Amino acid sequence: MNAHVADTHEHHGPEKGLMRWITTTNHKDIGSLYLWFSLIMFLIGGVMALIIRAELFQPGLQFVDPQFFNSMTTMHALIMIFGALMPAFVGLANWMIPMMIGAPDMALPRMNNWSFWILPFAGTLLVATLFVEGGAPASGWTMYPPLVLQTGAAFPMLIFSVHLLGFSSIMGSINIIATIMNLRAPGMTYMKMPLFVWTWFITAYLLIATMPVLAGAVTMLLTDKYFATSFFDAAGGGDPVMFQHIFWFFGHPEVYILILPAFGIVSQIIPTFARKPLFGYSSMVYATASIAFLSFIVWAHHMFTVGMPVAAELFFMMATMLIAVPTGVKVFNWVSTMWRGSMTFETPMLFAIGFVMMFTIGGFSGLMMAMTPIDFQYHDTYFIVAHFHYVLVPGAIFSVMAAVYYWLPKWTGNMYDESLGKFHFWISTIFVNILFFPQHFVGLAGMPRRIPDYSVQFTDFNMISTVGAFGFGLSQLLFVYIIIKTVRGGEKATDQVWEGAEGLEWTLSSPPEYHTFTVQPDVK
């Protein structure tokens, strides 16, 4: 161990103005950058969703052309997943992991800056496709060839923005892994780490194992289009379905990348407001690890209709169904944590409870789709759209909102407005169900996804869904308002903030110093 002199750099404040944000190496600054970026992307992706929903309000084409509609579907998904949700989780990781494990910062602070500062460039490249000849990519976020190869000038932009986004996530994940493995305070053993840290630790592995595979897949698309390779062309001995296998080898772990940190957040919040330790800590950790492991061997459940051999279909069906077991363990643990607690229902708790219920609903429809013979009926219908929005919106997005309400007082030193927060929860919950629940019905009744126009028997539920979408969208304006208001001022928060909160982050002041834990705490 070295004993180098404490250098003079140690006692600096941030630079001033814009340069502070461009050059920062501070995990809190970078966390904030990620979160703001994510919020902006959420609004952009949300507006695209509203265009989709507006067009689907009634049959016939009203506002957009089919080609543009498909672009909206594609861009909405890409922006929400890569621009809104993943950066939100990385932002939370940046803010909280060092504070939760008693680390002075992230392990590789300069690289941390780069992970963030690639995103705005990648996002701009992606959004810019809307303005080039031939329009934005319109092949769905899954980018299946041969269709995606018909994209116009936007094609290379799509490919390279995916590369950049992947590069950013990989660097971010490496940083998180290094931080967790190297910078835990003395006494903070692995099995003492808060669950948010644990779930992110595992998520980071999923990311570094799968993002490069996505990069490989889109690189093959690029060479197939411009350099005459034939990975996905039967005439040359390739196979369009090969892309789907490679894509979903990334894509399925990706959906757990979008949910594991959410599990972590909820596992922090529920014990706090139940005033009772988390039930089954170690089984939570093992369940997370099992989900991560299983996520690598279930990918082809997205491809049951491509004509795989029966044996493969059976294998992927059973492996997929198995995921319900560790996920169930988590749900049961949360319920048991609440059981015989002393509960209060502040906004973060409301969002966490909403998460558990509505995620479970989405999980159930996932289980239904896992059964191959019935997935033949569900596949590529709105039933699927309902499934994944339940796990993604009142699932993952709700968990982000819960986290923001939970930690905002710590970040800013100000309490948010509790009654506005509760109001935000209730209107969000009501509208999100109006938005997505009817989609189960139209899906079962036979409405395919990714269509700009539909036959008249689906009208009523689509109208309801669109009303829900606009209601849910408007409710999010309230969220933005609450955040800005809290950042600007408000009732001062205590260091502890929540009566039942436990963990190192609550021992710091609210807001915490620019540099915290420069001397690591001893954890008993």
Partner 1 sequence: MNKLIQIAVGMMGAAFTSGAYAAWETNLTKGVTDISHEVYDLHMLVLYVCIAIGVLVFGAMIYSMIYHRKSKGHKAATFHESTKAEIAWTIVPVFILVALAIPAAKALIKMEDSSNADLTILVTGYQWKWQYEYPEEGISFFSNLASDSREASARDSGIDPATVDNYLLEVDNPLVIPVGKKVRFLFTSNDVNHGWWVPDFAVKKDAIPGFINDMWANVNEPGIYRGQCAELCGKDHGFMPIVVIAKEESEYNEWVEQQLASAKETEAAANKTWDMASLMEQGEKVYTTSCVACHQAGGQGIPGVFPAITGSAIATGDVAGHLDTIMNGRPGTAMQAFAGQLNDADVAAVTTYQRNGLGNSVGDMVQPSDVKALR
Partner 2 sequence: MSNTAGNHYYVPNGTKWPFIGSVGLTTLIVGFINLLNGSENGKYVMIVGALILTYMLFGWFGQVIEESENSTYGAWEDKSFRLGMSWFIFSEVMFFAAFFGALFYARVLSVPWLGGAGDDADTNRMLWEGFQAVWPTNGPGELGGEYEVMAAWGLPALNTLILLTSGVTVTWAHHALKKDNRKHLIIGLALTVALGFLFVFLQAIEYKEAYHTGLTLGSGIYGSTFFMLTGFHGLHVTLGAIMLTVMLVRSMRGHFTSKNHFAFEAAAWYWHFVDVVWLGLFIFVYWL
114 binding partner 2? (CB under 8 A) = yes
Near ligand HEA in 267-296, by CB under 6 A: none
Give one DSSP letter per residue of 370-398, joined into a string.
HSHHHHHHHTTBHHHHHHHHHHIIIIIIH
In the residue annotation, 378 being an active-site residue is answered as no
Near partner 2 in 21-40, by CB under 8 A: 22-26
Give one DSSP letter per residue of 411-461, joined into a string.
HHSB---HHHHHHHHHHHHHHHHHHHHHHHHHHHHTPBSS-S---GGGHHH
The 3-state secondary structure of 31-42, one letter per residue:
HHHHHHHHHHHH
Near partner 2 in 151-170, by CB under 8 A: 153, 155-157, 160, 163-164, 170
Q: Are 362 and 327 in contact (CB under 8 A)?
A: no
Site string for partner 1, 118-137 (x = CB under 8 A): --------------xxxx--
Minimal distance in Å, beta carbon 159 to ligand HEA? 16
Cα–Cα distance, 283 to 280 (Å, whole number): 5
Near ligand HEA in 75-104, by CB under 6 A: 76-77, 80-81, 85
481 binding ligand HEA? (CB under 6 A) = no
State the CB neighbour count (10 A cutoff) for residue 128: 13
Nearest to 283 by CA among 342, 332, 229: 332
Near Cu ion in 237-296, by CB under 5 A: 252
Near partner 2 in 303-342, by CB under 8 A: 307, 309
In the residue annotation, 301 being an active-site residue is answered as yes
Phi/psi of residue 381, each to 5°? -115, 180
Site string for partner 1, 300-339 (x = CB under 8 A): -----xxx--x--xx--xx--xx-xx--xx-xx--xxxxx
In the residue annotation, 459 being an active-site residue is answered as no
In the residue annotation, 499 being an active-site residue is answered as no
Query: Which is catalytic among the residues 28, 53, 184, 301?
Result: 301
Residue 252 contacts which entry, partner 1, Cu ion, partner 2, none (Cβ below 5-8 A, type-dependent): Cu ion
463 binding partner 1? (CB under 8 A) = yes
387 binding Cu ion? (CB under 5 A) = no
Residue 384 contacts which entry, ligand HEA, Cu ion, partner 2, none (Cβ below 5-8 A, type-dependent): ligand HEA
In the residue annotation, 419 being an active-site residue is answered as no
Give one DSSP letter per residue of 58-111, joined into a string.
SSS--SS-HHHHHHHHHHHHHIIIIIIIHHHHHHHHHHHHHHHHT-SS-SSHHH
Tokens 């997005």: give the residue: 397
194 binding ligand HEA? (CB under 6 A) = no
Residues sharing a CB contact under 8 Å with residue 409, sequence separation 6 or more, in sequence order: 415, 416, 486, 493, 497, 510
Q: How far is CA 79 from the centre of its chain?
A: 11
Query: Which is catalytic among the residues 330, 379, 389, 410?
Result: 330
Near partner 2 in 46-105, by CB under 8 A: 103-105
In the residue annotation, 53 being an active-site residue is answered as no
Site string for ligand HEA, 35-54 (x = CB under 6 A): --------x--xx-xx-xx-
Residue 24 contacts which entry, ligand HEA, partner 2, Cu ion, none (Cβ below 5-8 A, type-dependent): partner 2
Instruction: Pick from 15, 418, 460, 522 the residue near partner 1 by CB under 8 A.
Output: 460
Cα–Cα distance, 307 to 152 (Å, whole number): 29
Residue 207 contacts which entry, ligand HEA, Cu ion, partner 1, none (Cβ below 5-8 A, type-dependent): none
Cα–Cα distance, 13 to 42 (Å, whole number): 31
In the residue annotation, 330 being an active-site residue is answered as yes
Cα–Cα distance, 159 to 254 (Å, whole number): 18
Query: Which is catalytic among the residues 27, 28, 53, 76?
Result: 76
Q: Which two tokens stand for residue 213?
A: 């595979």
Query: Which is catalytic among the residues 210, 327, 365, 412?
Result: 327
Q: Are 168 and 129 in contact (CB under 8 A)?
A: no
455 binding partner 1? (CB under 8 A) = yes
Cα–Cα distance, 34 to 47 (Å, whole number): 20
In the residue annotation, 252 being an active-site residue is answered as yes
Near ligand HEA in 136-175, by CB under 6 A: 140-142
Q: Are 114 and 171 in contact (CB under 8 A)?
A: yes
Phi/psi of residue 189, each to 5°? -75, 165
State the CB neighbour count (10 A cutoff) for residue 90: 31
CB closer to ligand HEA, 114 vs 332: 332
Instruction: Pick from 65, 418, 513, 522 the residue near partner 1 by CB under 8 A.
Output: 65
Phi/psi of residue 502, each to 5°? -135, 150
- Greatest Cα-to-Cα distance within the chain, rounded to the nearest angstrom: 75
Catalytic residue set: 76, 105, 141, 168-169, 252, 254, 256, 267, 301-302, 327, 330, 449
Which residues make up the interface to ligand HEA (CB under 6 A)? Answer: 43, 46-47, 49-50, 52-53, 73-74, 76-77, 80-81, 85, 140-142, 255, 258-259, 301-302, 320, 323-324, 327-328, 331, 360, 363-364, 366-367, 369-370, 375, 378-379, 384-385, 387-389, 391-393, 395-397, 435, 449-450, 469-470, 472-474, 476-477
